[in-house]
């Protein structure tokens, strides 16, 4: 069977049995190794998306495989009605990497944010006379559950009525946050860098001002580090660049290196949940927790925070260099290995398609934004190779646009 026939056949089967929730690119990946993916025809692709900031150690990472093998032979799952050591060790490691806190484990970013929202509401009942509103940012993305959609503030009409209690102010604007905090507000919930919103880092100074505001007005600061965390920006958590700590932090994506696991950390001030308030069947199960411990340990042992910073700088320089070749890169946003090439033309989706043909996996968050969130193991040579392939993809995209005109 030719590669085209195999793809057409799988697409047809998928259309019959999978809900139509994703726009998928025409490729079937069957294997991965490090920063490289292999399709069903044996073709290799440099993966600059990494499962959208998930595969922090790359594909088939030895540490993830070893943890899976060892723990699956011992104990895969046990209910949260009992203790299990890996969950406690994972919480200890997370707290050490972040700030004094206690941890709730779940399975995804949306769930971690649901936990954060419930924490804020319960805290509001206890400390703010039943206030419950949360100030979020325009352009944010916090998940697809009903409450996290309301926090996101988009895609709501289809699923009305929206969960009540979220206000939206411009991103990276401490004055707007100050104006929005009144007696009805219990928390400010933000991404330190917009992820789905196109890789837009918040200014360190803005974040420091918002932290101070939350203290002055006695509301919680909730930071969603689902995409920006786990070392992606060169620090464990993006907010650490600003030298502040949140009251609540949410984590998922890279935490399990590809195995689903999420977490919400609450500082003592915000640590209000009690038995019966919240729970999750699979949250922090021994298998997922063991893998996440291995991911955190490997990031530390292999110096991947430094690597993200160093190789990220090289990738950024390479992308900016494309301007000198006459390619339409207007600017590069982001930090470490959380970068976006902002184009001067509405061709990002066409570049992504052309990239696939050129053996590089890219992602567009909008018509002009190419997002790059590769494994933190990306080497300097791989970064250079990625820039070369991206350049060819851009040339192809421009040609195609010219042909279509």
Ligand X SMILES: Cc1ncc(COP(=O)(O)O)c(C=O)c1O
Q: What are the residue numbers of the active site?
A: 141, 224, 253
CA 26, CA 7: separation in Å to the nearest integer?
7
Of 20-28, 107-115, 174-182, 238-246: span binding ligand X (CB under 6 A): 107-115
For residues 292 to 331, the per-residue mask of contacts with ligand X, x marking binding by CB under 6 A and - elsewhere, is: ----------------------------------------
Backbone angles phi, psi at 245, to 5 degrees: -125, 145
Per DSSP, the three-state class of 195 is coil
Residue 137 is a binding residue for ligand X (CB under 6 A): no
CA 157, CA 201: separation in Å to the nearest integer?
28
Residue 141 is a binding residue for ligand X (CB under 6 A): yes
Output the smallest distance, CB 102 to ligand X, in A.
Answer: 21
**Binder of ligand X out of 59, 121, 133, 142 (CB under 6 A):** 142
| Interface of this chain with ligand X, residues 221 to 240, rule: CB under 6 A | 224, 226-227
> Which residues, in sequence order, are bridge partners of residue 193?
201
Nearer to ligand X, 333 or 389 (CB): 333
Of 37-45, 114-122, 188-196, 266-274: span binding ligand X (CB under 6 A): 188-196
Output the smallest distance, CB 115 to ligand X, in A.
Answer: 12
Q: With the C-alpha atoms ordered 67, 69, 71, 77, is the resulting torsion angle positive or negative?
A: positive
CA 87, CA 171: separation in Å to the nearest integer?
35
| Interface of this chain with ligand X, residues 246 to 275, rule: CB under 6 A | 252
Residue 339 is a binding residue for ligand X (CB under 6 A): no
- Which strands make up the sheet holding 102-106, listed edge to edge? 102-106, 262-266, 248-251, 220-224, 185-190, 133-137, 166-169
Backbone angles phi, psi at 340, to 5 degrees: -135, 135
Tell me which residue of 96, 99, 117 sits closest to 267, measured CA to CA: 99
> Containing H/E element for 332?
strand 329-335
Output the smallest distance, CB 63 to ligand X, in A.
Answer: 21
Provide the terminal-to-terminal Cα distance of the chain, rounded to the nearest Å.
Answer: 36
Q: Residue 364 corresponds to which tokens in the numbers above?
A: 């567009």
Nearer to ligand X, 200 or 397 (CB): 200
Output the smallest distance, CB 50 to ligand X, in A.
Answer: 13
Nearer to ligand X, 115 or 347 (CB): 115
Output the smallest distance, CB 195 to ligand X, in A.
Answer: 4
Nearer to ligand X, 145 or 184 (CB): 145
Residue 334 is a binding residue for ligand X (CB under 6 A): no
Residue 196 is a binding residue for ligand X (CB under 6 A): yes
Of 21-29, 102-110, 235-243, 382-390: span binding ligand X (CB under 6 A): 102-110
Q: Please, are residues 342 and 369 in contact by the beta-carbon 8 Å criterion?
A: yes
- Please state, as a whole number, how many other Cβ atoms lie within 10 Å of the Cβ of residue 27: 16
Output the smallest distance, CB 298 to ligand X, in A.
Answer: 21
Of 26-34, 104-112, 302-310, 365-373: span binding ligand X (CB under 6 A): 104-112
Nearer to ligand X, 92 or 159 (CB): 159
Nearer to ligand X, 142 or 368 (CB): 142
Residues with Cβ within 8 Å of 295's Cβ and at least 6 positions away in sequence, in order, are 56, 57, 63, 64, 230, 254, 255, 256, 257
Output the smallest distance, CB 108 to ligand X, in A.
Answer: 4
Q: Which residue is nearest to ligand X (CB)?
A: 109
Number of residues counted as binding ligand X (CB under 6 A): 14
Residue 114 is a binding residue for ligand X (CB under 6 A): no
Distances (CA, A) of 352 to 122, 172, 191, 253: 43, 28, 25, 22
Q: Please, are residues 261 and 251 in contact by the beta-carbon 8 Å criterion?
A: no
Of 58-66, 139-147, 165-173, 285-293: span binding ligand X (CB under 6 A): 139-147
Q: Please, are residues 380 and 311 in contact by the beta-carbon 8 Å criterion?
A: yes
Tell me which residue of 149, 173, 172 sits closest to 162, measured CA to CA: 149
Residue 191 is a binding residue for ligand X (CB under 6 A): yes
DSSP states of 238-254: GGGGGT---SEEEE-GG
Q: Which residues bind ligand X (CB under 6 A)?
A: 108-110, 113, 141-143, 191, 195-196, 224, 226-227, 252
């Amino acid at each position: 069977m030719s590669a085209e026939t195999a793809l057409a056949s799988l697409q047809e089967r998928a259309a019959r049995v999978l809900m139509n929730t994703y726009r998928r690119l025409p490729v079937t990946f069957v294997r991965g190794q490090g920063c490289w993916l292999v399709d069903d025809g044996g073709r290799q692709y440099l993966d600059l998306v990494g499962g959208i900031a998930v595969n922090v150690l790359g594909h088939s990472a030895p540490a993830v495989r070893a943890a899976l093998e060892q723990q699956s032979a011992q104990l895969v799952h046990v209910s949260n009605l009992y203790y299990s050591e890996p969950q406690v060790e994972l919480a200890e490691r997370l707290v050490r990497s972040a700030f004094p806190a206690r941890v709730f484990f779940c399975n995804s970013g949306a769930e971690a944010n649901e936990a954060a929202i419930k924490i804020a509401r319960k805290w509001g009942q206890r400390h703010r006379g039943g206030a419950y509103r949360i100030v979020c940012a325009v352009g944010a993305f916090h998940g697809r559950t009903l409450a996290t959609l309301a926090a996101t503030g988009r895609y709501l009409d289809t699923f009305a009525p929206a969960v009540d209690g979220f206000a939206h102010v411009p991103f990276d604007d401490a004055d707007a946050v100050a104006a929005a905090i009144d007696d009805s507000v219990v928390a400010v919930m933000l991404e330190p860098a917009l992820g789905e919103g196109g890789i837009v880092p918040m200014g360190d100074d803005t974040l420091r001002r918002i932290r101070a505001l939350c203290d002055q007005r006695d509301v919680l600061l909730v930071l969603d580090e689902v995409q920006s965390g786990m070392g992606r920006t060169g620090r464990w958590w993006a907010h650490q660049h600003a030298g502040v700590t949140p009251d609540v932090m949410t984590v998922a994506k890279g935490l399990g290196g590809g195995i689903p696991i999420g977490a919400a950390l609450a500082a003592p001030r915000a640590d209000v949940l009690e038995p019966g308030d919240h729970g999750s069947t699979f949250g922090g199960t021994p298998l997922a927790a063991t893998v996440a411990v291995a991911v955190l340990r490997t990031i530390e042992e292999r110096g991947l925070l430094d690597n993200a910073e160093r190789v990220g700088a090289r990738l950024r320089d390479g992308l900016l260099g494309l301007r000198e070749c006459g390619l339409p890169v207007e600017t590069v946003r982001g930090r470490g290995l959380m970068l976006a090439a902002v184009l001067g033309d509405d061709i990002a989706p066409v570049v992504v398609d052309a990239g696939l043909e050129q053996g590089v996996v890219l992602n567009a968050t909008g018509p002009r934004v190419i997002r790059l969130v590769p494994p933190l193991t990306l080497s300097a040579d791989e970064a250079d190779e990625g820039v070369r392939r991206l350049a060819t993809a851009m040339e192809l995209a421009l040609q195609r646009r010219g042909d279509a005109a």
